[in-house]
A = this chain, B = another copy of it.
Amino acid sequence: MAESTQIEAQEPDGFAPARPRLRADAAQNRARIVAAARQLFADRGIDAPMAAIARRAGVGAATLFRRFPDRRSLIDEVFSTQITHCESILDDAAADPDPWHGFCRFVDELGRMQVEDRGFTEAFITTITEDSGVNEKSNHAEATFAKLVCRAQDAGRLRRDFDPSDLLLIFFANSGVSAAPPEHAHDLSRRLIAYLLQSFETKGRDDQEPLPRPSRMALKDVFESASPTDRRPLTPPAGP
Contacts and interface: CB of A to CB of B under 8 A. Distances in A.
Interface of A: 5, 31-32, 35, 38-39, 42-47, 72, 121-122, 125-126, 129-130, 166, 168-169, 172-184, 187-188, 190-192, 194-196, 198-200, 203-204, 207-209, 211-215, 217, 221-222, 225-240
A15 B232 CA distance: 45
Given A195-B200, A214-B187, A240 B35 contact: yes
Contact of A179 (B5, B190, B199, B232): B232
A189 B187 CA distance: 21
Nearest to A193: B212
Contact of A43 (B39, B169, B188, B234): B234
The 10 closest A-B pairs by CB, nearest first: A176-B176, A187-B215, A129-B237, A181-B225, A199-B199, A173-B173, A229-B239, A179-B233, A184-B217, A190-B212
Contacts of A177: 169, 172-173, 176
Q: How many monomers of this chain does the complex have? A: 2
A228 B172 CA distance: 25
A198 to B, nearest CB: 5
B234 A122 contact: yes
Nearest to A162: B195
Contact of A227 (B47, B181, B198): B181
Contacts of A191: 166, 169, 211-215
B166 A235 contact: no
B217 A192 contact: no
Contacts of A47: 235
A82 to B, nearest CB: 14
A169 to B, nearest CB: 5
Nearest to A171: B176
